[in-house]
Structure 1
């Protein structure tokens, strides 16, 4: 899929993008990015730290995309979502080439949600709250979480 920015993977590359991002960030820091719903608090904290550190949107773009890929992968692993390449109308609406489709068919934009949190800095844009109030997610199972490579 051509997005104008060839560094942005399609849906089939988003899991690798998320796991690569987690490997890079956790190699330097002991961040508990374990793909749990609880770990989305860490994402909120990281985004807020970028803002408070004075990063501009362009300078933080790659990190924000990695965090968005991570949030999307949490939705895939915990809420029953699947990564999808967005069609032209969806790309125009979301401003992103990829998103996630929930089990009920709704499409969400985790990368855009991370950008919104960064841009507004509003606690109302919390990524953990986004997950908890997300329509269309599956009920959590009682089985232990599966961590995929």
Structure 2
């Protein structure tokens, strides 16, 4: 799992963690990770590439966490969500320490959604479709 100083980052650290991940990933290639909704299709392709390349979940874990953080940050920037630390029941349910809360109060698990895409590989787990089908999102300017 993605770690900062030996631990998984909390909600207040996710924006900085994501920015560092994007800088690291895009320094090696010209991936269009610009926090746009269209860039979520690139995330789908990256995850599919990890699967097709034969990476197991343990090998891909850090990258998957970074991609999940990126998806969450797209929700924050484009849909008005905010990063939240899950309470104990949410941690147990989602299997993650952080997620996002949408303006309508619903909580989503972008980190888990990325893992689901990696594990199943099916189009029903598309991250771009995930964003587009969220109800109750509001438009918000990029911060």
Please indicate the TM-score interval, normalised by the length of the shorter structure.
Answer: over 0.9
* Aligned counterpart, 1:46: 46
1:59 aligns with 2:59: yes
Q: Could you tell me how far apart the structure 2 residues matched to 1:33 and 1:136 are?
A: 24
Q: Could you tell me how far apart the structure 2 residues matched to 1:7 and 1:117 are?
A: 24
1:112 aligns with 2:112: yes
Runs of 4+ displaced beyond 4 Å: none
* Unaligned residue ranges in structure 1 (runs of 5+): none
Counterparts of 1:58-97 in structure 2 under 5 Å? 58-97=58-97
Q: CA deviation at 1:8?
A: 1.0
Q: Could you tell me how far apart the structure 1 residues matched to 2:132 and 2:17 are?
A: 24
SS in 2 for 1:84: strand
Q: Could you tell me how far apart the structure 2 residues matched to 1:62 and 1:32 are?
A: 20
Q: Could you tell me how far apart the structure 2 residues matched to 1:96 and 1:12 are?
A: 15
* Aligned counterpart, 1:103: 103
Q: Could you tell me how far apart the structure 2 residues matched to 1:7 and 1:75 are?
A: 23
SS in 1 for 2:100: strand
* Aligned counterpart, 2:15: 15
SS in 1 for 2:131: helix
SS in 2 for 1:103: coil
Q: CA deviation at 1:135?
A: 2.1
Aligned residue-pair number: 140
SS in 1 for 2:115: helix
The alignment's C-alpha RMSD in Å is 1.6
Q: Could you tell me how far apart the structure 1 residues matched to 2:135 and 2:19 are?
A: 25
TM-score (norm 2): 0.94
Q: CA deviation at 1:76?
A: 0.2
